[in-house]
Structure 1
Amino acid sequence: MKRLLISLLAGLAAAGCAGGAADCRTDVLVIGGTTSGTTAAIASARMGVRTLMVEQTPMLGGMLTAQGVCATDGNFNLPSGLWNEFRERLRQRYGGIGALWTGWVSTTLFEPHVADSIFKAMAAAEPQLEVRYGYRLTGILRRSDRVTGAEFTDSTGHRLRVRARVTIDATDLGDALPLSGSAYRLGMDSRRETGEELAPDEANDVVQDLTLVAILKDYGPGNDRTIPRPEGYDPAEFEGCYDLPGVESAERMLEYGRMPNHKYMINWPKAGNDINLNVVELPFAEREAALEAARQKTLRFVYHIQHTLGYRHLGPADDEFDTPDRLAYLPYHREGRRAKGVVLMTLDDITQRYDRPTQLYRTGISVGDYPVDHHRNCRTDVEKIHFPPVPSFSIPLGALIPERTENLIVADKAISVSNLANGSTRLQPVVMLTGQAAGTLAALSVTGGCTPREVAVRDVQRALLEQKAYIAPLYDVTPDDSDFALLQRIAATGILRMTGEPYFWANRSWFYPEREITVAEFTQGLHDYAPAVALSADSTLLTAGRAAELLRAAGGTTVQIAPSDAERPLTRRETARLVERSLDPFSRPVDHTGAFTKP
């Protein structure tokens, strides 16, 4: 009854956001219609919570739309939640998987305006969701350490003040963090702080290169779409742009980002349009002025492609961005501020999932499979890092919650991860799923009448599983598996461990549901859950009878095993079912570090 009353009162108060009011109230405020902001707002609204999303540009989708990075990286084999829903809508729009597999950088390429239309259709279908365009964040409302909303300003100076029960910072650069007084990191962390062997001895302010993306359109033979020669153009700047193994031609370079309908994404790191600009801490006007250098570099590269490489029939698309030069509305920031959260996810948490002081995998709310990818070619003074292979991984819930600020949730690339880990967690599908989790957490906070940090980890994970979202990055168990949720739950307890496998650009974590299991393997995970179960070196196959004995020793209820099945070896799927029946281990709470909080 208390939750119902809170929800009803909050809904009535939130009605003030309709009709363009300068001051309004809502349950959940999402700052930024970015990649994560869009999914956060949709997820929150779908849970019946009044939600307002405020976006600076005319587009929804951030990296995938307004920034022109219309080729997704990773998660091809992790069809999770809203990422999968978005991808399926793309496939329906274009005509299947093959219609999107047009370039070699990704399996999923599309036009920004099409992605924008899909996101807007998804948002419009939610009666609890309102979207305001044309406003940028200018202030955070707070009482002591509690965020109570935000202030925005449009290009004419008109102000919008929104009071909210929960606020989500889904900006590209974590712009709400300093305004709210929240602690954050920027640049490369020191080895002393993160414990990562590959981190530098001392922290620095180096951020990854950014890119102002161009979308070029093929206007057909005989059409000369060459732009005016940009000031300062020198062909030497782009010399050797396609001098890479496996590329070795201008045509192959362009095919990197070839999109449907004869378009090309120009987001090229090697002597292309990457540029290193640390504009994160600059005031808005100074940031915009500094970013002009990125816009000019892309225009010079476009001119190089047209004039020097001979692709005069390719010109900036006239049906994507309503900017004077037809380039993307915003730059593609690969890195910005990163919140200091209740936990810090490091590269070691990805590479050594089970051998860490904290068991963050148990608190997973978003999944990814991309290797660590840092763009630092423009900084010759920074030592190159040779990143180790990684398995697929989960983002921990605690990375979304600032260590001290209340009623603020962090999404997009500003979550609490190390600089090194950011190279994997920043990719679009991961960010989309992190946004979905942020919106789910916000909604549960509102309906539960508590702060986001007080929402139980398992409650967020259950809600995500109901949304067909992954909490564990299982390569070989998809949502159409009848045991999908069960195997996700068991994997998130660690009783049956995943097997990580680095695999090119799509790393894996296997559950092996049909593989038989040894006694030693079973006791390894069961011991972590219930130390009373001794570790065993027994390499014989686990039988149903032996599993039942070990589960009783772990404190589980007695499971009746037919005499004919007692000596039959179990598969990992059958073992998971038995574990759930006897122990129901997912119902045992964990804290944000992944530690079990009570028997």
Structure 2
Amino acid sequence: MSAAPTPRTRELGTDVLVVGAGPGGLAAALTAVRFGHRVVLTEAADWPGGLLTAQAVPLADGHRVELDPVSPGYRDLRERIRDFYRRNYPLCPEPYADPLLDPGLSTTGHLSHEPRAALAVVQELLAPHLASGRLTLLLGHRPVAARTDGDRVTAVTLEAADGGPLTVGAAYVVDATDLGDLLDLAGVEHVTGAESREETGEPHAADTADPLDQQPFSWVFALDHRPGEDHTVDRPAGYDRWAGAFSWETAEPGGTAARQVPLFLHEPDEVPPWGAPPNDRWHQRRVLARSRCLPGTFDSDITLVDWEQTAYTRLPLVGGGDGARARAEREAREQALSFLYWMQTRAPRHDGGRGYPELRLRPDVTGTADGFAMTPHVRESRRIRAEFTLLEHHMTAAARAGARGAETFADSVGTLRSRITLHPGAGGGAGLDLECLPFQLPLGALLPVRVENLLPAGRNAGATHVSAPALGGHAGQWSIGEAVGALVSYCLEHRLPPRAVRGSERRLASFQSRLSDSLGLALAWPDRLRTGPVTSAGPLYATL
């Protein structure tokens, strides 16, 4: 009997290939296509949106995002999510009229929403460009190989779950994957894990470098609360290996004394409809507050579980050897499911009992069969060896004491306000929670040291283990993607490599004018805002 024939590799050509449809990939693709270029956008999951949708991590910006000179594109994304709820949900009059509508009223971020609400908005953003034919969206496609010619990446081969391989050739390739997968496939110089203090000079860098010291990742799952019902899941096979570490204890920012943060502080129905939500677990990532809608619309709130109890630290996702990534993902899911079982059966209750069997998984919220997110919530990626590396002491309030704001960069391509929130992970390094001053995003941090036509659009930009978390949130990834989309567009039009744009004052000024004039991006902070630190948003694990 002869073997089945190997599927022929299909081929496709485009101006720009964006691999990964998270916030950075979306921004890069939308920006390039708006300037008239052909773009192929791919995503391994069944939903575009990445962090916003498939990973089930809602927007986590603090309240200052409403006042800061944020990217118009990112502000539009936020307003479209709010408008989705106004158009489709029977909101009470007060939240409906609130220009800063927060559907979930969570204690993390200022706009908490369901993953599918973000999905609807992402689909709206992509729709006109798909209809024009300039944008091609390939879902369920993951990169498996890259073809290079010297210092250029000429094509990327993608594997689809329901078809044969597809090779896409492009003038420019954007790596917007969660783990910087193309950096590895294309042999682009990069770093993983923690650098040493000797290498970076950062005050909080490790004494010695450790490529396996990577932040933890999590499998997020969605729950509602059904008093009087029993929705206890089957006891996971590996429950005993995780259960001993479960409790309601949490670490404060900076590693200070732990404290108890239970699921509920009191009966959920006792929460005032528009009062400040209590600082308990349920409200940390609540994405739908039923009090926002007319009485009788919903029987329960909906919350997402993405807390330190589900942060997986045993194996890194990158560099752990053959099979380590698959094993880590499998164990992380088992850990999360075990925590759910513990909550349903053994967790101390607010009323003195044990276990909350009334907690129910919500598969419809995550778009999966089991109520778990499609893909894990990834906090750290491979990072390019860049023309310029953004460091802790360029932006933190402590390191910049006495200076007038964060470091300024002549090659700025955007502005960001964030914190450095570093979770202790696979290498056992200490967690950090550091105030940052409002800072600029330098173009040099987006340019690999050698490769000419592959650019990062996410956590894989030129930063360090310590500084990268300041770029890793929704706003940071969007800003990086927007700058990269504009850069490849500029380079295609002027037939220039990205390095030549940064290397010429005239070209750099011309490109920066495109960013400010065409996209409305602020490239510098107003003096009145430059020295304002970011206030803490809550417990260490309450932020990205």
TM range (shorter): 0.7 to 0.9
Structure 1 residues 350 and 35, CA gap change in structure 2 (3 angstroms)? same
CA distance in 1, matches of 2:29, 2:368: 26
CA distance in 2, matches of 1:248, 1:225: 23
Query: Is residue 188 from structure 1 mapped to residue 169 from structure 2 by the alignment?
Result: no
Q: Secondary structure at the match of 1:130?
A: strand
Identical columns (%): 28
Structure 1 residues 112 and 179, CA gap change in structure 2 (3 angstroms)? same
Query: Is residue 418 from structure 1 mapped to residue 467 from structure 2 by the alignment?
Result: no
Shift of 1:284: 8.6
Q: Secondary structure at the match of 1:238?
A: coil
CA distance in 2, matches of 1:377, 1:144: 36
The residue aligned with 1:502 is: 533
Query: Is residue 349 from structure 1 mapped to residue 362 from structure 2 by the alignment?
Result: no
Structure 1 residues 36 and 284, CA gap change in structure 2 (3 angstroms)? farther
CA distance in 2, matches of 1:243, 1:267: 15
Query: Are the counterparts in 2 of residues 35 and 62 from structure 1 also a CA contact under 8 Å?
Result: yes
CA distance in 1, matches of 2:78, 2:52: 12
CA distance in 1, matches of 2:511, 2:339: 45
Pairing of 1:245-260 with structure 2 (within 5 A): 248-251=261-264, 252-260=280-288
Shift of 1:285: 5.9
Query: Is residue 307 from structure 1 mapped to residue 307 from structure 2 by the alignment?
Result: no
The residue aligned with 1:239 is: 247
The residue aligned with 1:38 is: 26
The residue aligned with 2:511 is: 460
Q: Secondary structure at the match of 1:414?
A: coil
Amino acid at match of 1:210: F
Structure 1 residues 368 and 312, CA gap change in structure 2 (3 angstroms)? farther
User: After superposition, what is the alpha-carbon deviation per residue over 1:129-158, rounded to whole angstroms, capped at 9, x for unaligned?
Assistant: 111111100111221111122110112461
User: After superposition, what is the alpha-carbon deviation per residue over 1:265-317, rounded to whole angstroms, capped at 9, x for unaligned?
Assistant: 11101x44443431213689652233101111111112222222333332221
Query: Are the counterparts in 2 of residues 104 and 257 from structure 1 also a CA contact under 8 Å?
Result: yes
CA distance in 1, matches of 2:367, 2:71: 32
Q: Secondary structure at the match of 1:93?
A: helix
Please identify, of 232-241 and 60-69, the stretch whose mean Cα deviation from structure 2 is larger: 232-241
The residue aligned with 2:3 is: none
The residue aligned with 1:442 is: 488
Query: Is residue 366 from structure 1 mapped to residue 373 from structure 2 by the alignment?
Result: no
The residue aligned with 1:86 is: 77
CA distance in 2, matches of 1:311, 1:76: 37
Shift of 1:110: 0.5
Query: Are the counterparts in 1 of residues 102 and 110 from structure 2 also a CA contact under 8 Å?
Result: no
The residue aligned with 1:148 is: 154
Match of 1:268 among 304, 307, 317: 307
Query: Are the counterparts in 2 of residues 209 and 375 from structure 1 also a CA contact under 8 Å?
Result: yes
The residue aligned with 1:110 is: 113
The residue aligned with 1:401 is: 447
Gaps of 5+ in 1: 1-19, 477-497, 507-599
Please identify, of 92-101 and 56-65, the stretch whose mean Cα deviation from structure 2 is larger: 92-101
Query: Are the counterparts in 2 of residues 30 and 41 from structure 1 also a CA contact under 8 Å?
Result: yes
The residue aligned with 2:424 is: 376
The residue aligned with 1:212 is: 219
The residue aligned with 1:576 is: none
CA distance in 2, matches of 1:289, 1:503: 37
CA distance in 2, matches of 1:468, 1:341: 26
Structure number with the bigger relative contact order (C-alpha 8 A, sep ≥ 6) is 2
The TM-score, its normalising length taken from structure 2, stands at 0.79
Amino acid at match of 1:427: G
Query: Are the counterparts in 2 of residues 437 and 460 from structure 1 also a CA contact under 8 Å?
Result: no
Shift of 1:457: 3.0
Q: Secondary structure at the match of 2:364?
A: coil
Shift of 1:183: 0.7
Query: Is residue 136 from structure 1 mapped to residue 145 from structure 2 by the alignment?
Result: no
C-alpha RMSD of matched pairs (Å): 2.7
Amino acid at match of 1:339: I
Amino acid at match of 1:119: V
Q: Secondary structure at the match of 1:68?
A: coil
Query: Is residue 119 from structure 1 mapped to residue 125 from structure 2 by the alignment?
Result: no
Please identify, of 298-307 and 169-178, the stretch whose mean Cα deviation from structure 2 is larger: 298-307
The residue aligned with 2:523 is: 471
Q: Secondary structure at the match of 1:366?
A: strand
Pairing of 1:5-20 with structure 2 (within 5 A): none
Shift of 1:198: 2.0
Amino acid at match of 1:208: Q
Query: Are the counterparts in 2 of residues 210 and 277 from structure 1 also a CA contact under 8 Å?
Result: no
Q: Secondary structure at the match of 1:228?
A: coil
Shift of 1:424: 1.2
The residue aligned with 2:17 is: 29
The residue aligned with 1:294 is: 332
Structure 1 residues 324 and 93, CA gap change in structure 2 (3 angstroms)? closer
Shift of 1:395: 1.6
Shift of 1:241: 3.6
Structure 1 residues 243 and 224, CA gap change in structure 2 (3 angstroms)? farther
The residue aligned with 2:541 is: none
Query: Are the counterparts in 2 of residues 277 and 291 from structure 1 also a CA contact under 8 Å?
Result: no
Structure 1 residues 226 and 263, CA gap change in structure 2 (3 angstroms)? same
Structure 1 residues 346 and 257, CA gap change in structure 2 (3 angstroms)? same
CA distance in 2, matches of 1:200, 1:447: 43
Pairing of 1:160-171 with structure 2 (within 5 A): 160-171=166-177
CA distance in 1, matches of 2:84, 2:48: 17
Shift of 1:451: 1.6
User: After superposition, what is the alpha-carbon deviation per residue over 1:450-484, rounded to whole angstroms, capped at 9, x for unaligned?
Assistant: 222223333333222222223224496xxxxxxxx
Query: Are the counterparts in 1 of residues 488 and 498 from structure 2 also a CA contact under 8 Å?
Result: yes
Match of 2:44 among 56, 63, 68: 56
CA distance in 2, matches of 1:174, 1:305: 34
Amino acid at match of 1:41: A
